[in-house]
């Protein structure tokens, strides 16, 4: 659909007026998200009045692809800290979200192709995500994820996976390295007229830097797409993952400094581990409404069978998740002005059979808990973007959110611990984008966030009364953000943002001893009355030189994050720092590319001062600097790539991630020592 505006000049005397060609304001043709190029995705995200990032496939695959840290390292504002080196399990936080995450993930929505990966209450993990089956990663920081993360503080990380259009007939990749790391990936992709298919299998094995940290993972991904008449498309995604990993636990400071490779003795004695089978299916149907509109229907279901020995119990869970989304998109001009309108209805539900048994040195003892956990989220969202002038875009959006949490006690030995609770919220968002020039934007937004607690947080072992689930409130926040992004001189690209997040009832994890002298802790959660998260995020890519010796280049990239997360007049902790994140975090890389295909990229990770690990602010990590180098050779005519990587070359001992507020002082999870990796990849197109 288009609007044609005829423009004419004023008449002069008896001469007939010259006729100027018409100016046509056209709506952009909508491309399905799975078929978008990286440039098309960036153009869409440049209509978001806040800081967002895209990590393309070539960056994901340029070197070791063990976990999300490998892919997101140069995204300012994102803190991702693996708990065991090349393992998937990590502490993931965006703008201070989920610093209570002493295990797994909360506070950030991780998605696969727009589908929530994990439970309806927001709890998920990392082990089923395969980077080599990923086409690109989209990062929506904080409240900038209205559709994907309107009920989390941290926003969303969306992994867009490959289809038959994104892979050749055969793709092979093998990686190997220190501490028994081994990863093999086999994939195929083909397009046959209106039909396309993609399939991949990945085997990952890891002995681990630390004792008792060995892991094995098998991941199988498939995608089948079909283009019907009139532009309607149907896509079916299927996946299976088998995960088996031992959990070495956290260390005290003395243990970290003396022997960072040791495991927590209690974890070894109780055979702490995490084993599960995971099956997923997702269906997407998309129908165009003219050239400027589309409607999408989405269905997803998944199943996880978990065996999870821990120090306090053996968790035996069977979890079923299912959800749906109906989404409408329209990009037709409004009153002759470029615009975009999106609206959708989302539903996600979880039913979990949750049993716990006494842990007898890794063997199953008597049943101590048996309950049915239920969670439901219903979200209705709408967002409108309007270019009121060629230099100014206004954005307004709103999300209505309903959440339900329930426990049905089947054990009854300690009385009936059943209960339920509901949360309802309206989440508004307002923003502007100003175009200083064709290549430079300034932006700002004021956005609300509303995050109900997880079922796990409502029923944690350390909670005093699981029957009264309403003892824990949802955390609320207002985010205020301004920033600038752009390109200049064909050499410099940047995105700089400053934000202030005012929080009420932020959820805090206080790990308590279940009995005097216990060598381990159990989680207990409470609300912080008031807290504040402030920060500066700056990312720069600079082409320093080109054609030094013909066809080569020297580039630099830097990601710097300054964070200040504090209690505000707290009755227990005053104005202390909220534990779990460094005040300053810097990643930098200098890369040289030669026309022959050879490249080398030394890099550094720098935390110049230690950060607190408990709310009393009495314990903290040590500062550190890690120096590493990557290099590779790309033979384009053969579609062949090889790479080598040396990490932590000075063999620095440091805490990669932390367990906050540990009552027994086990705060520190060591990062890997000096390590070397190499790999080879080949595609037959």
Q: Is the pLDDT of residue 521 over 90?
A: no
Report the chain's mean pLDDT, rounded to a whole number: 91
Supply angle C-alpha 252, 253, 256, rounded to 5.
Answer: 85
Question: 4: pLDDT confidence band, cut at 50, 70 and 90?
Answer: very low
Section 619-626 average pLDDT: 97
Q: What is the pLDDT of residue 603?
A: 98
Binning pLDDT at 50, 70 and 90, where does residue 466 land?
low
pLDDT at 5 exceeding the cut of 80: no
Q: Which of 675, 683, 684, 679 is nearest to 184 (CA)?
A: 679
Cα separation of 603 and 628, whole Å? 5
Closest CA to 125 of 147, 141, 101: 101
Q: With 70 as the cut, is the pLDDT of residue 39 above it?
A: yes
pLDDT at 25 over 70: no
The pLDDT value given to residue 519:
81
Q: What is the pLDDT of residue 22?
A: 42
Q: CA 418 to CA 405: how far, in whole Å? A: 11
**Please, are residues 273 and 245 in contact by the beta-carbon 8 Å criterion?**
yes
Residue that has been written with the tokens 């001992």 in this structure: 653
Residues 598, 633: contact at Cβ < 8 Å?
Answer: yes
Name the residue among 570, 401, 406, 531 with its Cα closest to residue 100.
531
What stretch of H or E contains 160?
Answer: strand 155-161
pLDDT of residue 6: 33
Q: Give pLDDT, residue 31.
A: 83
The SS3 of residue 126 is: coil
Residue 151 has pLDDT above 60, yes or no: yes
Predicted pLDDT at 464: 57
Distance (Å, whole) CA 553 – CA 591: 8
Burial of 81 (0-12, 13-18, 19+ CB in 10 A): buried
Flag whether pLDDT at 467 surpasses 70.
Answer: no
CA distance 374 to 372: 7
The helix/strand/coil state of 147 is: helix
d(CA 536, CA 580): 17
> For residue 334, what is the DSSP state?
B
| 29 vs 194: which has the higher pLDDT | 194
Specify whether the CB–CB gap between 401 and 381 falls below 8 A: no
Cα 86 from Cα 652, distance rounded (Å): 16
Provide the pLDDT for residue 147.
Answer: 84
Question: Looking at residue 500, what is its pLDDT?
Answer: 97
Looking at 77-86, 438-447, 454-463, 562-571, which range is the least confident one? 454-463
**Arithmetic mean of pLDDT, 115-143:** 93
Q: What is the pLDDT of residues 44-63, one digit of tens each?
A: 899 999 999 999 999 999 88
Q: What are the residue ranges spanned by the domains of the chain?
A: 26-684
User: Alpha carbon of 462 to those of 186, 194, 526: distances in Å?
Assistant: 44, 55, 11
Cβ pair 99, 612 in contact under 8 A: no
**How far apart (Å, rounded) are the C-alpha atoms in residues 524 and 511?**
6
In this structure, are residues 98 and 85 in contact, taking their beta carbons and an 8 Å threshold? no
Q: What is the mean pLDDT of residues 560-583?
A: 96
pLDDT-above-70 percentage for the chain: 94
**What is residue 39's DSSP assignment?**
H
CA atoms within 13 A on the CB side of 226: 5
Closest CA to 627 of 648, 609, 606: 648
H-run or E-run covering 249 = none
User: What fold characterizes domain 26-684?
Assistant: Maltoporin; Chain A (2.40.170)
| Residue 171 pLDDT > 70 | yes
Q: How far apart are alpha carbons 667 and 619 in whole angstroms?
A: 9
The whole model's pTM is what?
A: 0.92
- Look at residue 652 and tell me whether its pLDDT is greater than 90: yes
pLDDT of residue 9: 35
Token reading at 497: 């943002």
How many residues in the chain? 685
């Amino acid at each position: 659909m288009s609007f044609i505006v005829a423009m004419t000049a004023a008449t002069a005397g008896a001469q007939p007026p010259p006729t100027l060609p018409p100016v046509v304001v056209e709506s952009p043709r909508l491309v399905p998200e799975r078929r978008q190029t990286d440039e098309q995705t960036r153009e869409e995200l440049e209509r978001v009045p806040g800081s967002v990032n895209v990590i393309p496939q070539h960056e994901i695959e340029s070197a070791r692809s063990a976990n999300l840290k490998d892919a997101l390292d140069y995204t300012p504002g994102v803190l991702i800290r693996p708990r065991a080196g090349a393992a998937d399990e990590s502490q993931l936080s965006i703008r201070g979200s989920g610093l209570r995450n002493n295990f797994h993930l909360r506070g950030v929505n991780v998605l696969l192709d727009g589908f929530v990966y994990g439970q309806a209450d927001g709890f998920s993990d990392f082990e089923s995500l395969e980077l080599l089956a990923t086409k690109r990663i989209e990062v929506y920081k904080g409240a900038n994820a209205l559709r994907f993360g309107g009920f989390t503080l941290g926003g969303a990380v969306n992994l867009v996976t490959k289809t038959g259009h994104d892979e050749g007939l055969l793709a092979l990749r093998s990686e190997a390295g220190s501490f028994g790391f081994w990863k093999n990936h086999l994939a195929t992709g083909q397009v046959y007229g209106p039909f396309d298919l993609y399939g991949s299998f990945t085997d990952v094995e890891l002995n681990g830097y630390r004792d008792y940290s060995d892991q094995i993972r098998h991941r199988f991904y498939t995608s089948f797409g079909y283009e019907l008449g009139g532009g309607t498309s149907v896509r079916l995604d299927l996946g299976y993952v088998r995960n088996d990993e031992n959990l070495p636990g956290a260390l005290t400071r003395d243990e970290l400094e003396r022997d960072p490779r040791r495991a927590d003795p209690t974890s070894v004695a109780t055979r702490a581990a995490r084993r599960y089978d995971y099956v997923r299916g997702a269906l997407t149907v998309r129908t165009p409404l003219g050239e400027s509109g589309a409607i999408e229907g989405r269905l997803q279901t998944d199943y996880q069978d978990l065996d999870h020995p821990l120090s306090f119990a053996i968790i035996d869970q069977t979890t079923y998740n299912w959800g749906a989304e109906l989404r409408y998109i329209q990009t037709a001009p409004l009153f002759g002005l470029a615009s975009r309108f999106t609206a959708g209805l989302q539903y996600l539900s979880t039913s979990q059979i949750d049993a716990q048994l006494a842990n007898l040195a890794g063997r199953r003892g008597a049943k101590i808990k048996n309950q049915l956990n239920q969670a439901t989220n219903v979200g209705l969202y709408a967002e409108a973007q309007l270019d009121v002038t060629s230099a100014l875009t206004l954005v307004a959006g709103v999300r209505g959110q309903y959440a339900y949490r329930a426990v049905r006690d089947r054990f009854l030995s300690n009385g009936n611990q059943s209960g339920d609770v509901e949360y309802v919220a309206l989440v508004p968002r307002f923003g502007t984008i100003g175009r200083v020039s064709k290549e430079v934007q300034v932006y700002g937004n004021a956005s609300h966030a509303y995050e109900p607690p997880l079922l796990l947080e409502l029923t944690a072992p350390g909670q005093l009364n699981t029957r009264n689930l309403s003892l824990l409130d949802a955390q609320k926040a207002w985010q205020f953000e301004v920033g600038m992004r752009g390109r200049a001189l064909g050499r410099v690209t940047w995105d700089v943002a400053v934000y202030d997040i005012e929080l009420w009832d932020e959820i805090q994890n206080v790990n308590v001893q279940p009995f005097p002298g216990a060598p381990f802790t159990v989680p207990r959660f409470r609300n912080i009355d008031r807290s504040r998260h402030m920060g500066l995020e700056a990312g720069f890519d600079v082409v320093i030189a080109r054609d030094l010796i013909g066809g080569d280049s020297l580039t630099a990239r830097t990601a710097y994050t300054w964070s200040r997360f504090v209690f505000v007049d707290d009755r227990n902790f005053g104005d202390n720092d909220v534990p779990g994140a460094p005040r300053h975090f810097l990643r930098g890389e200098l890369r040289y590319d030669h026309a022959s295909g050879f490249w080398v990229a030394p890099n550094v990770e720098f935390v110049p001062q230690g950060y607190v690990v408990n709310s009393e602010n009495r314990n903290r990590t040590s500062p550190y600097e890690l120096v590493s180098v990557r290099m590779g050779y790309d033979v384009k005519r053969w579609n062949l790539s090889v790479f080598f990587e040396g990490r932590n070359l000075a063999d620095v001992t440091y805490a990669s991630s932390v367990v906050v507020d540990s009552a027994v002082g086990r705060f520190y999870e060591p990062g890997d020592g000096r390590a070397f990796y190499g790999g080879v990849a080949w595609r037959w197109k």
